[in-house]
Chains A and B, each alone.
Chain A
Amino acid sequence: MKAKRRVIMSSGRPLGASRTPRPPRRRPALATVVPKPKSEPRSSAATSQAEAADAARDVEIDLSVDLGRGLVLPNPILVASGAFGYGVEYGDVVDVDRLGAICCKGTTLKPRIGNPTPRVTETPGGMLNSIGLQNPGVDAVIEKYAGTWAGWNVPVIVNVAGESVSDYVEVTRRLEGVPGIAGIELNISCPNVGKGGLQFAIDAGAAGEVTAAVRRATDLPLLVKLSPNVADIRPIARAIAEAGADALTAINTLSGIAVAPGRGRPLLGNIYGGLSGPAVKPVALRIVYEAAQAVKIPIIAIGGVTELADVLDFLSVGAVAVQVGTAIFADPTLPVRLVDELSAECRRVGVTTHLDLVGSALPNRAGAPSAKGVEYRP
């Protein structure tokens, strides 16, 4: 089965097919963000910087990210699943075609009505949500939205959820070949009914198994989303990469609980919720940092992105792109602004692609693998 490939346009220039393909990046791309001298060495740092800035002004910055299998994101700022619905809800407030990609709300085989309310609450520096994967089911999603998506330049990646390997495979089969669907992101933070409700995401075997099964079922670009609620992410990341995923996305929310003020009982209708927002960023940085040293496939970071500095932090620990989730609720214009700011930042530091900023905080590959922190982790 061959999926329809879309040509993704960026500033009027077709990418992908007609563009000279960049060899896939291997992390760490560069251990330093210092601009490379263009010709002879400069005499002083000051003139060198000023000249680099001059030279950079008219240089075109290429923010595209090649995830393989024909999926080339026009830029590395995506919107995260669950925060941007099906891409249509924000209407004129957001120009979706300026986004790197849209990950739509989690989609299951059958419709789901989701969890009882309340479903969301603010927490210090973040929020808890327990939507419970409310969605109309894959067939309705395709019928209602795929036509709209096919008319957009922005790639739409469908976030797929299920309770068994066959669920994931069946949803994927139905998405295969549908115009308007650019890829799949597996949300494996779901209970595996076949394994007593144990989440796929917390078990390397189950994570690898579901990835492999979906891989066999589709040629669509396949992203797999990691859960932070695990003791060690590395074996899980490796199992997913070996099973044929094209990229990892990380992280999904952290499991948490809120108590209703003054009532002494759980606030959320579902008791448990997923924590997101700035509060989870250090955890996301740690997971990306560890996964980046465990696998060679690209990693898209998620968790608490609210400003350019967060994007740069995630690039430095090995991510090639980021997703923005919770911050959209406060500022729906943030993702598009981050695209412009990242472009300006590349110019400022004298690189032509943000990929040159990837991996600078990772330990030197030539040295011994880092065991720092592992033995002391609580």
Chain B
Amino acid sequence: MTMRLAAAELVESREILPGQWLQAYHAPTIASGSRAGQFVHVRTGDFSGMVLRRPFSVNTADLATGVITIHFRVIGRGTEWFTRLRAGDEIDLLGPLGRPFEVDPRSRHLLLVAGGLGMAGVRMLADEAIRDGRQVTLLFGAASSREVYPSSLLPDEIEYVVATDDGSLGHHGFVTDLVPEYEAWADQAFACGPSAMLAALARQAEGRRGRLGVASLGRKRGGGRGDPAGSPAARRKAFLQVSMEQNMGCAVGACLGCVVMSTSGVPQRVCREGPVFAAEELVWEGAWS
């Protein structure tokens, strides 16, 4: 669906974790037009002080009710402003924006990997995958148990595996430690989170084909012929797709504020060519990462 400006009414606002909020907005055009991985650019009320909109992943979208949710951490004046909104208040959304995750129709097993707020980037893909009859394992990493996304907010059908840096819940260590266990099971992986986590996942994914041998025989993935780099078809064939974050100005591709570097040497706009990229499209080391 093409992007549009839409007025959205706040339905519900809840602090689900310390400093982390889940807000539901009634925005039927966005709810029906969004796919997992896309985002909305939301205007704050105080333009004279805060001149930029704030980008949020579409965390969930419910066609039946026309409600979308966003999930954010209070990190500054803008996010703070959003927490003061009350049910019935109206905000201005621009969306849906960016390109969605591309799931290969043959993929049965999807591995989702989220670090902290990265949950918002992959959350909707869990819903879409279950709707389409796929199996989902969601690996989630946080600093401690206090920041672990409540399983009650996730669909029952998924396997939810948690890692914490301090060991207060689940695996003691990084979420990326858990990945090798699922490497053979997963047909495709989709990740969102801190850039160090994504870079580690990208390195893991690079070596995967070599390590797996038999399990991947006959499955042509990653760089299929005839699919130009960056095309939805090329992404659909990639094992690892990542949802990137970057500071944004316009969110429609006009200002070039939000780029990440691609292996082709041409900066790619997170808001337009992304936020979802095949991991192998991007440069993970150096001044640009």
Contacts and interface: CB of A to CB of B under 8 A. Distances in A.
Specify the main secondary structure of chain A where it touches its partner. loop
Nearest to A90: B252
A140 to B, nearest CB: 11
A331 interface: yes
Interface stretch (B27-35, B47-55, B174-182, B218-226): B47-55
Contacts of A92: 2, 4
B240 interface: no
A121 B266 contact: no
A118 interface: yes
Contacts of B51: 122, 125-127, 277-278, 326-327, 329-330
16 contacts: A85-B253, A85-B254, A91-B252, A92-B2, A113-B266, A119-B247, A119-B256, A124-B49, A127-B249, A129-B249, A131-B255, A131-B256, A278-B51, A327-B47, A329-B249, A330-B51
Nearest to B265: A113
Specify the main secondary structure of chain B where it touches its partner. loop
Interface in A77-117: 82-85, 89-93, 105, 113-114, 116-117
Nearest to B44: A330
A113 B256 CA distance: 10
Interface of B: 2-5, 43, 47-53, 76, 78, 94, 246-260, 265-267, 272, 287-288
Contacts of A122: 50-52, 78
A329 B52 CA distance: 6
Contact of B258 (A84, A119, A306): A119
Given A84-B254, A85-B250, 19 more contacts: A83-B254, A89-B250, A89-B254, A90-B254, A91-B2, A93-B252, A113-B265, A116-B288, A117-B246, A117-B260, A120-B258, A122-B50, A125-B49, A131-B255, A134-B259, A329-B52, A329-B53, A329-B255, A333-B5
A254 interface: no
Contacts of A333: 5
Contact of A331 (B43, B252, B272): B43
A99 to B, nearest CB: 14
| Residue of A93, A117, A131 with highest tally of chain B CB at under 10 A | A117
Interface of A: 82-85, 89-93, 105, 113-114, 116-122, 124-127, 129, 131, 134, 261, 269, 277-278, 306, 326-333
Contacts of B272: 89
A120 B257 contact: yes
B48 A125 contact: yes
A93 B41 CA distance: 13
A91 B257 contact: no
Nearest to A279: B51
A113 B269 CA distance: 12
Contacts of A126: 51
